[in-house]
Chains A and B, each alone.
Chain A
Amino acid sequence: MYKAGDFKPTRYLIYILAFAMIVVLAACGGNHNEKKESASSSSGKKAMITFWNTFTGSDAETLKTIVEDYNKKNEGKFEVKMDIMPADQFNQKLPPSIATGTAPTLIATNPTTAAAYIQNGSIVPVDDFYSVDGVNKDDFEPSAMKMGESNGKLYLLPMQVFGIQFYWNKDLFKAAGLDPDSPPADFDQLADYAVKLTDESKNQYGFAMPIKGAPQYYSMFIWGNGGDMVDVANKKSVLDSPENIETFKWLADLAAVKKVTPKGLNGVETDKLFLSGKAAMYITGPWLAAGLKQNNINFGVSLPPKGSAAQATIADGVGFAVPKGASEEQKLAAYDFVKYWNSTEVGKKWSLAIGFPPYLKSVAADSEIQANETIKQMSNLGEAGRTFLPGIVGADRINGDVLFPLMEQIVSGLDPVQGVKKASNSIDEILKSEP
Chain B
Amino acid sequence: MAERWTWGRMVGWLAAAALLIAVLHPFIWLFIAAFKPENEFMTFPPTVFASRYSFDSFVKVWDTIPLMAFFRNTMIFSVGVMVVSVFLDSMAGYAFARLRFKGNKALFTLILITMMVPFQVLMIPLFVEVFKLGMLDTFWGLIVPRAASAFGIYLMRSFFLSLPKDLEESGRVDGFNEFQIYWRIMLPLCKSAMITLGIFHLMNNWNDLLYPLMLTSSTEMRTLSAGLAMFVGQRNIEYGPTLAASLLALLPLLIVYVFAQRFFVQGVTTSGLKG
Residues of A within 8 A of B (CB): 1-2, 6-10, 13, 16-17, 20-21, 23-24, 27-28, 31-32, 34-35, 50, 54-61, 81-87, 89, 92-93, 96-97, 99-100, 102, 104, 203, 213, 267-268, 271-272, 275-276, 278, 285, 287, 290-291, 295
Contacts and interface: CB of A to CB of B under 8 A. Distances in A.
B87 to A, nearest CB: 7
A61 B63 contact: yes
Given A50-B218, A100-B127, A276-B44, A86 B232 contact: yes
A1 B272 contact: yes
Interface size class of B (residues with CB under 8 A): 35 or more
A24 B147 CA distance: 13
Given A23-B76, A59-B235, A267-B235, 6 more contacts: A2-B184, A7-B184, A31-B221, A87-B233, A275-B42, A276-B42
Interface in B178-194: 183-185, 187-188, 191, 194
B234 A86 contact: yes
A13 B191 contact: yes
A81 B184 contact: no
B54 interface: no
B138 A83 contact: no
B91 interface: no
B76 A287 contact: no
Counting from the closest, the 10 A-B pairs by CB-CB distance are A56-B233, A276-B42, A57-B236, A20-B83, A24-B80, A9-B191, A27-B76, A57-B233, A28-B139, A58-B236
Nearest to A29: B139
Contacts of B127: 96, 100
Contacts of A17: 83, 87
B137 to A, nearest CB: 8
B272 A6 contact: yes
B6 to A, nearest CB: 40
Given A2-B174, A96-B128, A9 B217 contact: no
Contacts of A34: 220
Main DSSP-derived SS at the A contact region:
helix
B272 A100 contact: no
B230 interface: yes
B194 A20 contact: no
A104 B217 CA distance: 9
A104 B221 CA distance: 15
A256 to B, nearest CB: 23
B219 interface: yes
Contact of B229 (A6, A20, A85): A85
A89 B214 CA distance: 8
B114 to A, nearest CB: 22
A87 B213 contact: no
30 contacts: A7-B188, A10-B187, A13-B191, A17-B83, A21-B83, A24-B79, A24-B143, A28-B76, A28-B140, A56-B230, A56-B231, A57-B231, A57-B235, A57-B238, A81-B219, A83-B219, A84-B219, A86-B229, A86-B230, A87-B234, A100-B127, A100-B131, A102-B136, A267-B235, A268-B235, A271-B235, A276-B43, A276-B44, A278-B42, A291-B236
